[in-house]
Amino acid sequence: MTATAPATATRPTTTGAAARLPGVARLALVRAGLELRQFWRERDAVIFVFAYPIIMLAIFSSVFGGENQGTEVAEIGYAQYFLPGMVATGIVLTSFQSLAVSIAVERDDGTLRRLRATPLPAAAYVGGKVLLTLATSVVQTVLLLAVAALAFDVPLPDDAGRWTTFAWVFVLGSATGTICGVGFSALPRSGRSASAVVTPVVLVLQFISGVFFAFFALPGWMQTVASVFPLKWIAQGMRSVFLPEDMAALETGGSWQHPATAAVLVAWLIVGLVVGVRTFRWRRRDDG
């Protein structure tokens, strides 16, 4: 290693090192590149993340293909009714579930401990995760929309207003899911139990939030419970993008409730941030 010995003469002083520490934004990009590379190499995970919403859409559309969803107010095809739910569930899977599991696994296998011993700031680590989530969510959603439009003849909106709604629900939903995922990652005791702890939470939310069943058809108490959590609101926001305007009559209170959607998602974002900052651990729980 003394092949580099001449450089020891120019060993940086403490202040020099402080001045030249790489910036957080640049490090977040470095981390994002690494995250993407590692994600892409785990082929099974890649296929699951990208195909799951599409497969679920295909299954539900085929099973209930003959029935139309809605009431006398408006009737549309099943694929169209459930596309928003699949978009929402994809966002939650990629941001919340993947992140909560992967951080728990990385805490268990020593990735976090190793990073903690380097000058990498926690913000750059989380930043890399956010960028990974963003990249995979975008690809996942584009694929889902393309399959829905081409294979299931779901009409996609053609006005800018709806796509604006789509953009803010997508970004806010992903951000909330990501931050809550970071916070939730402290719960599993080990990397092996991470999936078992996180998956049921998401699964239950999918059933009560109008992803697999029409939300208006769920019992009132279930709707109330679901309204506490973000997935219901992301799904509702997406319904406002992909369903005809008059379907708003089927929503709680007869409207798309955009302000409430934004409020609930922002509230969870803040709760997730506070909890995440307080509970984030670089080491395993049994590690002291």
Partner 1 sequence: MTSTTTPTPPSASAAARRGRAGPPPGAARGPAVRVRGLTKRYGPKQAVDGLDLDLEAGEIVAVLGPNGAGKTTTVEILEGFRDRDGGDVRVLGEDPARAGRAWRARIGVVAQDSRDQAELTVAEAVRSTARYYPAPRDPDEVVDAVGLATKAGARVRSLSGGQRRRLDVALGVVGRPELLFLDEPTTGFDPQARRTFWDLVLGLRESGTTVLLTTHDLAEAAHLADRVAVVRDGRVVAEGTPDTLGGPDARTPLVTWTADGVARAERTDAPTALVAHLVATAAGPDGEVPDLCITRPSLEDVYLGLLTTEDDR
Site residues for partner 1 per CB under 8 A: 1-8, 10-12, 14, 16-22, 27, 30, 33-34, 37-38, 41-42, 106, 109-111, 113-114, 116-121, 282-283, 288
151 closest CA partner among 57, 48, 49:
57
Minimum CB separation from partner 1 for residue 177, in Å?
24
Q: How far is the CB of 244 from partner 1 (least distance, A)?
A: 45
Distance between CA 81 and CA 64 in Å, rounded?
11
Which residue, 30 or 149, has its beta carbon nearer to partner 1? 30
| Cα angle for residues 86, 239, 252 (degrees, 5° grid) | 120
Question: 265 with 234: CB under 8 angstroms?
Answer: yes
Kindly state the smallest distance separating residue 45's Cβ from partner 1, in Å.
10
DSSP, residue by residue, 207-261: HHTTSSS-GGGS-HHHHHHHHTSHHHHHHHHHHHHHS-GGGGGGSGGGS--HHHH
Min dist. Cβ of residue 36 to partner 1 (A): 11
| Alpha-carbon gap, residue 177 to 134, rounded angstroms | 11
Tokens of 208: 């009560």
Q: Which of residues 13 and 219 has its CB atom nearest to partner 1 in the complex?
A: 13
**Contact assessment for residue 92 and residue 231, using Cβ atoms and an 8 Å cutoff:** yes
Q: Which is nearer to partner 1, 18 or 55 (CB)?
A: 18
The nearest distance, CB 98 to partner 1, in angstroms, is 15
